[in-house]
Structure 1
Amino acid sequence: MNRFFYTATLKLASPILLWWLERRARKAGGVWDIRGSERYGQYSERVQTGPHDEEDGYAETVFGFARPVWVHAVSLGETRAAQPLIQALLDQGLPVLLTHFTETGRSNGAKLFSPAIKTGRLCQAWVPYDFPDAVDGFLNYWKPRCCILIEREIWPNMVAESKKQNIPVIVASARFSASSLRRGQLLGSVLRKALTSIDLILTQTHLDAARLSDIGVKRTRVVGNLKFDLRISPEQSHMGQVARRHIGRQVIAIASTREGEDELFIRAIADVRKKYPDARRDRPGDNDVTASSAEQAEARNAMPLFVMIPRHPQRFGEVAESLDDNGLSFCRRSDFPTDSQLRTVDVLLGDTVGEMFFYYGLSDVAIVAGSFAELGGQNHIEASALGLPVIVGPHTRNFQQSVEDALAEGAARRAQTPAEAVALSLRILDNPELRLGMSRAAKEWLSLHEGATDRIMSALQPYLK
């Protein structure tokens, strides 16, 4: 398939694709602007680069937003991964245009870069759909000096129109599994041509570079994984650690659960629940001023607290229903539960976005999901950054090399099923020597892989002029 037929097919399929996107947006919540003018590269007026009201403490235009560095981070994971790179660009005095496809990516970007947005050093926009006229309108409006795509978001018309306007295109922290390249080959020559026309692809591993070389892509350089250079939120992790001390209870995080995993983990937690006596049933509680300290301590739930953190917000409600159907007591993070509640419930439902470091700060062990169904796994590096023992499932192709390294270094363990992962997490909690050993190994392993941001920034310098 060449680019002409690719574009024709995309236009013919656009009514169905737009319907699907609107359905997805309704389930996820938030503002996606699926049919908005920005999605089609149409802008009626210049987007303000600072607050409108000088009473806010900023002039209307604080920073000369010309020839920005365009960074495209499709969703939440890519936005978090790109944070150190974007901050390095800002620190170099460069204006940054940050685009997203999903609402979760955009809202998280707004939180991460709030000071830069307020001072006009960073603007956010929706990435245009991959129609030539939409991409052309976008490029004519923003006039970026270069385009940096995070990980593997390659769109043929986006690349072709950028090249037509002499805008360099770079892929940073690129990862290409064998299966993703096989799927891309269904498009025929159009994706291969896009990849071979990219100015530079900065890959995570030598294996990624080798896969690209096999299809004729030669302009690659191995720089490592941006996710190792993550910026920990000290405020969030400290809040979690304080809460952990207050509740005086062991905590197991089950992070980034995906479709097909939630129910299996909930059943495993319910099986664990059967092994412990009910907490607070006909017992005095923390709110009972007449209860002695010993009685209050006894009223605590002896079972570890499980923190369930679904990957996608649209499934928060489904997970809550499943917890209730399985007879588990739970509270929602969005309801700001008290220490007393966290001492007694079986599960804390992590129904907030962008607070992963709070959840990990609260926890003693992390099970990183997305890897117990054939979904490729989610980011396990964030948990290791806080020194948590990590448990992953059998399907970790999205983080293949880093998972293998973490397993080899003793920072992580693999389980085959959710039930096995829950049982393993309990054994780690019962073995302080093992838990502390895995914690030390996690921090040491992470320190070996830092520096991807510096290597990427060095490679980018010729394109930032």
Structure 2
Amino acid sequence: MTRTLYSLFFTLCMPLILVRLLYRAWRAPAYAKRWSERFALGGDIRSEGIWVHAVSVGESIAAAPMVRELLRRYPQLPITITCMTPTGSAQIRKLFGGQVGHVYLPYDLPWLQRRLLRRLQPRVGIIMETELWPNLVAECERAGVPVVLANARLSERSANGYQRVSWLVRPMFAALDWVAVQSQAEALRFAALGVDKSAMTVTGSIKFDFRPPSELLAQAANLRAGWGSRPVWIAASTHAGEDEQILRAHQNLLRQLPDALLILVPRHPERFDSVARLVSDAGLGQVRRSQGGTPAATDAVLLGDTMGELVMLYACADVAFVGGSLVPNGGHNYLEPTALGLPVLSGPHRFNFVEISDLLQGAGALQVVADGRALEQAVLQLLNDARLREQAGNAGKAVVEANQGALELLLQGIGQRLQH
């Protein structure tokens, strides 16, 4: 009955959802395309195999090592990856090309999810992190499709939000066949929401198993070689309200280090142009990565306005600040710059990655700054002290290596479901 009310409410909201989609299409034209897929029509679907859902860019990147290994271990099983955003879609195509099928996940109405599953007929469904929808999970249960929640994470804030609608989500959580959860604290939160403890394994985060490809590192080395010996720091995955603080920090930093270069990478592509205007308004010379230019001596900022190059740009830097943390967005993946041996800085808002950030901070690999002024001081100290950078970078790499192995545990669990 509760899911019926949810579906009715979702149906009544569809006009508003479509208006929002039109607005997003106005902001980012890619949202104007492939609407039929959002109603479970069309798309590149490869049936009777493995279905993976990765909501957007971050989840697609996190899923990549798992998908590559599934392709290697089960070459007879086709893989289809669903997502929700054009940026996620572009990332999937960049990562896998035609190796996998790909389509947008439809809206969470029972008849749309049923249509998708009839077309997919998957042997197993793998949902990355916590992108759960009540009708999607219910229709998988109805169709006999085992659902794995991979690299599952659940912050205290998200858990509290789910508790407020527990009448709706408890059956959804209880229906999950297996949850490969990142930490014991998160396992307790999942259990409180209805996941059977016997259906959970604490595997750690598969993001610890990230290994940068050698060709990517070579590309970064070639790019960096063209910039001379100037000090470089990166502010990655930034959100609205952070860029202004970062640019002020860089302006002040330039008084001490006149040749310092900031690589500024906004989280969302629809903000690329507005952030470029912020850089110009700050009176800083810039070059846009999308235009392929090399920063001149007068350029203080390289704007990372391309998709799929974040790790390569991290590898060009001496110090990394991870965004979404000076504003209350909860932070982003700290492990990519850590695996590259960079000292990592974060703002105070880390609720999406509490366990990982605490682990890195305790090891001396991550430093938390309160605001833009503290960010400036921390960057200056690190750029001026090669030994300090090396110590923090080595500490981070040691943490990453000590916590690897989650991917193999995840693959073993998926393999068991494929055998049933």
Q: Which residue of 2 aligns with 1:39?
A: 38
CA drift at 1:48 = 6.3
SS of the counterpart of 1:404?
helix
CA drift at 1:272 = 2.7
Give the conservation status (yes or no) of the 8 Å contact 1:39–1:127.
yes
Give the conservation status (yes or no) of the 8 Å contact 1:258–1:369.
yes
Q: Which residue of 2 aligns with 1:159?
A: 137
CA drift at 1:259 = 1.6
Give the conservation status (yes or no) of the 8 Å contact 1:376–1:396.
yes
Task: Supply the distance in 1 between the matched residues of 2:144 and 2:38 (Cα, whole angstroms).
Answer: 22
Of the three residues 293, 309, 321, the one matched with 2:265 is 309
Instruction: Please say if 1:229 is aligned against 2:209.
Output: yes
Of the three residues 68, 76, 86, the one matched with 2:57 is 76
Task: Supply the distance in 2 between the matched residues of 1:157 and 1:3 (Cα, whole angstroms).
Answer: 7
Task: Supply the distance in 1 between the matched residues of 2:96 and 2:415 (Cα, whole angstroms).
Answer: 22
CA drift at 1:234 = 2.7
Instruction: Please say if 1:107 is aligned against 2:90.
Output: yes
The verdict on how the C-alpha distance between 1:343 and 1:452 changes in structure 2, with shifts beyond 3 A counting, is farther
Q: Which amino acid is the alignment partner of residue 86 of structure 1?
A: V
Task: Supply the distance in 1 between the matched residues of 2:200 and 2:325 (Cα, whole angstroms).
Answer: 28
Task: Supply the distance in 2 between the matched residues of 1:360 and 1:262 (Cα, whole angstroms).
Answer: 17
Of the three residues 291, 294, 307, the one matched with 1:335 is 291
Give the conservation status (yes or no) of the 8 Å contact 1:238–1:361.
no
Q: Which amino acid is the alignment partner of residue 22 of structure 1?
A: L
Identical columns (%)? 35
SS of the counterpart of 2:59?
helix
RMSD value, Cα: 1.7
The verdict on how the C-alpha distance between 1:125 and 1:152 changes in structure 2, with shifts beyond 3 A counting, is same
Q: Which residue of 1 aligns with 2:219?
A: 239
Task: Supply the distance in 2 between the matched residues of 1:240 and 1:307 (Cα, whole angstroms).
Answer: 13
Give the conservation status (yes or no) of the 8 Å contact 2:290–2:306.
yes
Task: Supply the distance in 1 between the matched residues of 2:226 and 2:44 (Cα, whole angstroms).
Answer: 45
Cα deviation digits, residues 125-160 of structure 1 (max 9, x gap):
111110011001111111111111000001000000
The verdict on how the C-alpha distance between 1:155 and 1:355 changes in structure 2, with shifts beyond 3 A counting, is same
Q: Which amino acid is the alignment partner of residue 82 of structure 2?
A: T
CA drift at 1:30 = 2.3
CA drift at 1:217 = 1.7
Q: Which amino acid is the alignment partner of residue 225 of structure 2?
A: R
Task: Supply the distance in 2 between the matched residues of 1:216 and 1:165 (Cα, whole angstroms).
Answer: 21
Q: Which amino acid is the alignment partner of residue 208 of structure 2?
A: F
TM-score by structure 2 length?
0.95
CA drift at 1:263 = 1.2
Of the three residues 322, 328, 333, the one matched with 2:278 is 322
CA drift at 1:375 = 0.6
Residue correspondence of structure 1 range 54-203 to structure 2 within 5 A = 65-92=46-73, 93=75, 94-114=77-97, 117=98, 121-203=99-181
Cα deviation digits, residues 62-96 of structure 1 (max 9, x gap):
xxx54111000000000000001111110112311
Cα deviation digits, residues 159-189 of structure 1 (max 9, x gap):
0011101011110000011211222233341
Residue correspondence of structure 1 range 310-459 to structure 2 within 5 A = 310-338=266-294, 341-459=295-413
CA drift at 1:21 = 2.5
Q: Which residue of 2 aligns with 1:265?
A: 246
Gaps in structure 1 of 5+ consecutive residues: 50-64, 277-301
Which piece of structure 1 moves more, 373-382 or 12-21? Answer: 12-21
Give the conservation status (yes or no) of the 8 Å contact 1:2–1:188.
no
SS of the counterpart of 1:343?
coil
Give the conservation status (yes or no) of the 8 Å contact 1:251–1:365.
yes
SS of the counterpart of 1:67?
coil
Give the conservation status (yes or no) of the 8 Å contact 1:342–1:348.
no
Gaps in structure 2 of 5+ consecutive residues: none
Give the conservation status (yes or no) of the 8 Å contact 1:32–1:102.
no
SS of the counterpart of 1:30?
helix
Which piece of structure 1 moves more, 1-10 or 182-191? Answer: 182-191
Task: Supply the distance in 2 between the matched residues of 1:462 and 1:6 (Cα, whole angstroms).
Answer: 33
Task: Supply the distance in 2 between the matched residues of 1:189 and 1:409 (Cα, whole angstroms).
Answer: 41
Give the conservation status (yes or no) of the 8 Å contact 1:269–1:422.
yes
